[in-house]
Amino acid sequence: MATHLVSVLNGLAMGSLLFAIALGLSLVFGMMDVLNLAHGAVYLVGAYVAVALVSDGAGVAAFVLAVLAAAAAGAVLGALLAALTRATTHHLDQALLTLGVALVVAEALSLAFGNDVHSIAAPEPVGGGVTVLGETYPVYRLLVIGFGVVLAVAVYVLVERSPLGSVIRATVADRAMVAALGINTGRVLVGVFAAGAALAAVGGVLAGPILGAQPGLDEKVLLLALVVVVIGGLGSVRGALLGAVLIGQVQALGTALLPEYASFLVFGAMALVLLLRPAGLLPARTGVHA
C-alpha cells in the first residue's frame, strides 16, 4: 500500500508539470481554435535553456535565472506564433503552420545542442532525497508538487477573480461579443498565447531534472498535453487541471497497478472519458466560469 502511495505522490508531481504545460494549449484552443502543435517545441526550448544555464551543482540562483529566461523565450515564441497563425483562418492550415514551426524549432535546437541526451541537475540544496513512507523520495519532486499547487491557485485567482480574467473567460465564450464591447480581443489573444507559451517553457525548465532534454521529447510532451486538454475540455482552465492530475495518476498509479498494460493506459483513459463525455470532463462553458 505504501508503495502505491508513493506512486500517487509521483502522479501529483507529473500532474503539476502537465498542468503548467497544458494550460496554454487549452486556452489558446479555447479562444481562437488554434491547435498549436508547436507547443511541445516551446516546452523543449525551455528545457534547453535549462541545459545552457544550469550546470551540475548549480545553486537556486541559476535555476531561477533559467526559469526567467525560459519564460521570456517562451513568451516571444508564443507572440510570434500568435502573429503567424493570424495569417490564415483555416484550422487545418493553422495546425500545419504550427507543425512547420515545431519542426524548424526542434531542428534548430538539435543543431545548437547536438542530438545527445542532456540531463539537468536539480538545484543543489534540493538535489537529495527524503524518506517518505519508508521509501526514498527526491525532494525536488515534492517542490514540483508545491509549484503545481501555487500555480493552480494563482491561475484560479487570475482567471476567476480578476477583471483581466473575466475578459479572458468572455473571449473564450464569445469572442465577437467581447470585441463588440470595444475590447481589443486581438491583444488579449496575443497575451494569452504568449503567457501560455511562457508557462510551457517554464514547464520545460522545471521538468528538466526529471525528464532531461533530448530531441523527440517535444512530441511526447505535446501528445500528453493534447490528451490532458481533450480530457479536461477544450478551453477550460479547471478542465486542464483535472485532466493533468488524472493523467499524472494514470501514468504513475496506473502503471504501478497494471504494469502489463502500461503502454495502453493513457490512451485507454482518454478513450473512456471521451466516450462518456465527448466534450471533456469540464467543458469550457462550465469550466471557465466559476
Partner 1 sequence: MGVVSVFSPTRTIAGLAVGAMLLTGCGSSLDESSGSKAEGGKSGGAVKIGLLVPLSGVYAPIGEDLRAGFQLYLDQHDGKLGGREVDLKTADEGEGPQTGVPAAQKLVTQDQVSAVAGVVNSATALGLRDFFDESKKPLLIANAGADDITGARKSQYVWRTSFSNGDVSAALGPAVAEEVKGKVYLIAADYAAGKEMVAGFRKTFEAAGGKVAGEKYTPFGKTQDFQPYLSAIRKSGADAVFAFYAGAEAVNFVKQYKQFGLSGKTSLYGTGFLTEGGALAAQGTAAVGVKTSLHYSTELDSASNKKFVDAYQNAAKKPPTVYAVQGYDTAAVLDKALAEASGDSGDALVKALAKVGSIDSPRGAWKFDSDQNAEQQFYLREVKSSGGTAVNSVVGELD
Partner 2 sequence: MKAEAEAMRGDTGAPQDTTTSVLEPLRSGPGAYLPGRRRAVVAVAVVALLAAAPLVLSPYPVSAMTRMLAFAVLVIGVDLLTGVTGLPSLGQAAYFGVGAYTAVLVGVHITPDAMVQALAGLVMGLVAAAVTGWVAVRARGIVFLMLTLAIGESVHQVADTWSAVGGSNGLAGMPPISLFGGPSLLAAGFVYWWVLAVAALVFAAVALVVSSPYGRTLRGIRDNEARMRALGYRPALARYGVFCLAGAVAGVGGALWAQQARFVSPGDMGFEVAALALLSVVIGGAGSLWGPCLGAALVLFVRDSLSASIGGHGPLVLGAVFIAVVFLMPRGLAGLTGTRARLRNLTSARRRKENAS
What is the contact surface with partner 1 in residues (CB under 8 A)? 3, 6-7, 10, 14, 56, 110, 114-119, 129, 135-138, 210-212, 214-217, 220, 251-253, 255-256, 259, 262-263
Q: Contact 253/4 with Cβ under 8 angstroms?
A: yes
Considering only the stretches 44-52, 60-68, 139-147, 263-271, report the one whose residues sit in contact with partner 2 under the rule CB under 8 A.
263-271
Query: What is the dihedral angle through the alpha carbons of 247, 251, 257, 263, rounded to the nearest 10 degrees?
Result: 110
Rounded Cα distance, 79 and 193, in Å: 6
Q: How far is the CB of 41 from partner 1 (least distance, A)?
A: 16
88 binds, among partner 2, partner 1, none (CB under 5 to 8 A by kind): partner 2
Query: Which residue has 503502454 as its cell numbers?
Result: 263
Q: How far is the CB of 279 from partner 1 (least distance, A)?
A: 27
Binds partner 2 (CB under 8 A): choice among 11, 30, 46, 191: 30
* Phi and psi, residue 258, nearest 5°: -125, 65
SS3 of residue 65 by DSSP: helix
SS3 of residue 282 by DSSP: coil
Work out whether the CA dihedral 20, 81, 183, 68 comes out positive or negative. Answer: positive
Q: How far is the CB of 5 from partner 1 (least distance, A)?
A: 10
**Residues in contact with 227: Cβ distance below 8 Å, sequence separation at least 6, in sequence order:** 243, 247, 266, 267, 270
Give 93 or 135: the residue with its C-beta nearer to partner 2: 93
Give 117 or 271: the residue with its C-beta nearer to partner 1: 117
Q: How far is the CB of 249 from partner 2 (least distance, A)?
A: 18
91 binds, among partner 2, partner 1, none (CB under 5 to 8 A by kind): partner 2
Residue among 170, 218, 268 at smallest CA distance from 46: 218
Q: How far is the CB of 6 from partner 1 (least distance, A)?
A: 6
In the region spanning residues 114 to 173, those forming contacts with partner 2, defined by CB under 8 A, are 172-173
Give 1 or 275: the residue with its C-beta nearer to partner 2: 275
Q: What pairs with residue 137 in β-bridges? A: 130
Q: Contact 87/97 with Cβ under 8 angstroms?
A: yes
Considering only the stretches 8-16, 96-104, 128-136, 244-252, report the one whose residues sit in contact with partner 2 under the rule CB under 8 A.
96-104
Determine the size of the site formed for partner 2 (CB under 8 A): 53
Rounded Cα distance, 226 and 284, in Å: 15
Rounded Cα distance, 128 and 222, in Å: 29
Give 67 or 226: the residue with its C-beta nearer to partner 2: 226
Residue among 194, 205, 201 at smallest CA distance from 41: 201
Q: How far is the CB of 4 from partner 2 (least distance, A)?
A: 24
Rounded Cα distance, 66 and 79, in Å: 20
Give 12 or 270: the residue with its C-beta nearer to partner 2: 270
- Residue ranges in contact with partner 2 by CB under 8 A: 29-30, 32-33, 35, 87-97, 99-104, 106-107, 172-177, 179, 223, 226-227, 230, 233-235, 263-264, 267-268, 270-271, 274-275, 278-280, 283-286
